[in-house]
Amino acid sequence: MRRVYLLLLTFLLSAPVFSWAAVQPDEMLRNPALEARARTLSQQLRCMVCQNESIDESDAPLARDLRVLVRERLQAGDSDAQVLDFLVARYGEFVLLKPRLSWRTAILWGLPPGLLLTGVALLVVAAARRRRRVLEPVPTLTAAEQARLQKILADTGGS
C-alpha cells in the first residue's frame, strides 16, 4: 500500500511538469506538415486574454479563434511570415511572444544588454579606484611624530 501512495505522490508532484496543449482535436489539420507549422506558429503567438501564454497553451475562447484562424490561413496557402504579418496587422506587435526588432522595440531589446554593460563598466571603474587607493604610498611619520607616538605609548603602558 505504501508503494501505491508513493507512486500516486510522485505522479501528483510531477503533474505540473507535463504540458498539455489546449489544441482541441476538432481544430487539428489532417495534413501533418501543415499541423506542425500551425503548432509552431501558435507557440509564437500570445494569447490576448492570458497575455503570458501562447495560444497553443491557452484555453481562452479568443486563443481558440486565433488557432483556427492560423490554420485557415495556412490552408489558404499563406507562408508562416504571411500568417504572422496578418496577425500583427490585425492585433499589433503585442500578439507576438517575441517582438520583432524595430525602431519601436529597440529599447526593449537594447535595455538588458545596455544595463549589463553599464554594470560591468561601473565595476571596472570601482575596481580601478580601489586599486589606485591601495597603490598610493602611505605617508610616513616624521621624526617628531614618531617621538610623540613613542611617548604616548610609553605613558599608556604600551597598549
> Taking 60 as the threshold, does the pLDDT of residue 2 lie above it?
yes
Tell me how many degrees the CA angle 90-91-95 measures, rounded to the nearest 5: 135
- Output the pTM of the full model: 0.55
Per-residue pLDDT, averaged over 9-26, amounts to 58
User: pLDDT tens, 40-75?
Assistant: 999 999 988 887 888 888 888 888 899 999 999 999
Please report, as a single letter, which amino acid is at residue 156: T
Domain residue spans of the chain: 2-95, 113-155
CATH of domain 2-95: 1.10.8.640
pLDDT value at position 134? 76
Question: Is there a contact between 42 and 56 (Cβ–Cβ < 8 Å)?
Answer: yes
pLDDT band at 34; cut points 50, 70, 90: confident
